[in-house]
């Protein structure tokens, strides 16, 4: 934890030194804190998972931006003691305004680092039954793996000037290292193209993102080398001028299969070793004139353990506060 706090502080110092170097009033800062509480039901191993995140973002006009964050995960296990992970997030964005297109191109690079990640691995052993034709005996064992996690996420995006059309192409390379040679490293390559557009006089926004994920290590993701999923997000803005009013409402649906995914919008790493098969969530945010924002989301995620084929459900509540300066 100390290592990550140090790195987070270094990130913050880098942001502050950049602000100092450009000693003018052109920096726009924001800071956010959020909590994500997950309750698992029908899972053999998982009980709860709590995530706390703190992020600082600094934008220099509409030219470039720097971000730093710290995510703390605490996973309640049924068979083990709680597992705690700390993820360091660092990001940078640069905006380009080319003559050839009527919009802004943005290049961004985000990283997620975790030196001591802990996950639970499930192993399914099948032995032949007694005599001929007897039912086989299936033994499911679980073990705790200590590994590391390094994620790099470059994204190129386009947003037109009227903010009615958006497209991006994100590539994520995740590496989950392991000290256990039998388990080995896991490399995950994720391609996530996105398209979004507004309608209803810009009161609504529909975004579609396709996830294509390739996994390198069969021992870490039994029988799964490739997954794909589609995510739909519908956002509706309310024309509400009242102070601290309900600003927008959002519906999110994910269908398909997703394993070790990274959600760049939510800055969330899905480092559970189980297959996410669907997500349905609803949420919204409240804003006031003093640049305070509060958001709340609730949803259901369905998972499948690729080893035991066991299905389980995660009910989550995600809430946060953001302050702009």
Partner 1 sequence: MKKLLIKMMSALMFVFVSFNAVSADDAWMRSYTLETAGQYAAAAQSIEHFLKEIPNNEFAVLRSAWLYYLAENYSRSIKYYQTALEINKNSIDAMLGMSLPLMAQARWREAASMTQEVIKISKWNYLAHTRLMTCEDNLKQWETLKKHAETLRVYYPSDATILVYLARAYSHTNKNTKAKEAYQQVLQRYPGHLEASKFLSK
Q: What is the Cα–Cα distance from 120 to 142, expressed in whole angstroms?
A: 7
Q: Nearer to partner 1 by C-beta: 60 or 72?
A: 60
SS3 13: helix
Q: Between residues 82 and 288, which has the closer beta carbon with respect to partner 1?
A: 288
Q: How far is the CB of 238 from partner 1 (least distance, A)?
A: 13
- Told to check if 26 binds partner 1 by CB under 8 A, we report yes
DSSP structural state of residue 244: T
Instruction: Let me know: does 284 contact 261? Beta carbons within 8 Å.
Output: no
User: Is residue 3 near partner 1 by the rule CB under 8 A?
Assistant: no
28: part of which helix (H) or strand (E)?
strand 27-41
Provide φ and ψ at 45, rounded to 5°: -110, -45
63 is a contact residue toward partner 1 (CB under 8 A)? yes
Is residue 64 part of the contact set for partner 1 (CB under 8 A)? Answer: no
Closest contact distance (angstroms) between CB of 159 and partner 1 is: 9
Determine if 202 is a binding residue for partner 1 (CB under 8 A).
no
Q: Which stretch binds partner 1 (CB under 8 A): 137-145, 196-204, 283-291, 301-309?
A: 283-291
Contacts of residue 255, Cβ cutoff 8 Å, sequence gap at least 6: 229, 230, 278
Q: Which residue stretch of 22-30, 175-183, 193-201, 223-231 sits at the interface with partner 1 (rule: CB under 8 A)?
A: 22-30
- Please report, to the nearest 10 degrees, the dihedral formed by the alpha carbons of residues 46, 5, 187, 75 taken in order: 0
Nearest CB to partner 1, comparing residues 243 and 309: 243
- Cα 193 from Cα 166, distance rounded (Å): 11
At which residue do the structure tokens 């099948």 appear? 126
The nearer residue to partner 1, 139 or 241, going by C-beta atoms, is 241
Q: Locate tokens 């959002």: which residue?
A: 250
Token reading at 234? 């519908």
- Residue 163, interface with partner 1 (CB under 8 A)? yes
- Minimum separation from the CB atom of position 61 to partner 1 (A): 5
> Which of 162, 202, 225, 228 is in the footprint of partner 1 by CB under 8 A?
162
Binding site for partner 1 (CB under 8 A): 25-26, 28, 59, 61-63, 97-99, 102, 104, 161-163, 241-243, 287, 289-291
């Amino acid at each position: 934890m100390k290592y990550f706090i140090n790195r987070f502080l270094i990130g913050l110092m880098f942001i502050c030194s950049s602000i100092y170097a450009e000693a003018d009033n052109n920096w726009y800062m924001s800071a956010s804190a959020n909590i994500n509480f997950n309750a698992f039901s029908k899972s053999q191993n998982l009980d709860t998972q709590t995530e706390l995140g703190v992020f600082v973002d600094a934008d220099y006009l509409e030219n470039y931006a720097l971000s730093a964050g710290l995510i703390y995960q605490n996973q309640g296990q049924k068979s083990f003691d709680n597992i705690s992970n700390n993820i360091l997030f660092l990001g940078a964005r640069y905006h380009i305004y080319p003559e050839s297109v009527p919009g802004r191109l943005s290049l961004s690079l985000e990283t997620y680092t975790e030196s001591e990640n802990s996950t639970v691995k499930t192993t399914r052993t099948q032995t032949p039954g007694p005599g001929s034709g007897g039912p086989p005996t299936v033994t499911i064992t679980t073990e705790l793996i200590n590994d590391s996690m390094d994620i790099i996420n470059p994204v190129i995006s386009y947003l037109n000037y009227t903010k009615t059309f958006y497209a991006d192409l994100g590539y994520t390379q995740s590496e989950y290292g392991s000290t256990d040679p039998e388990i080995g490293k896991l490399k995950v390559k994720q391609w996530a193209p996105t398209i979004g557009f507004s309608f209803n006089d810009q009161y609504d926004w529909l975004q579609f993102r396709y996830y294509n994920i390739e996994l390198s290590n069969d021992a870490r993701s039994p029988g799964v080398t490739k997954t794909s999923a589609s995510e739909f997000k519908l956002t509706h803005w309310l024309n509400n001028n009242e102070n601290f009013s309900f600003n927008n409402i959002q519906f999110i649906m994910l269908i398909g299969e997703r394993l070790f995914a990274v959600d760049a919008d939510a800055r969330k790493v899905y480092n559970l070793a189980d297959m996410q098969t669907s997500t349905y969530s609803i949420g919204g945010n409240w804003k006031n004139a003093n640049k305070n924002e509060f958001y709340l989301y609730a949803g259901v995620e369905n998972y499948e353990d690729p080893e035991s084929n066991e299905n389980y459900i995660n009910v989550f509540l995600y809430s946060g506060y953001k302050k702009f300066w």
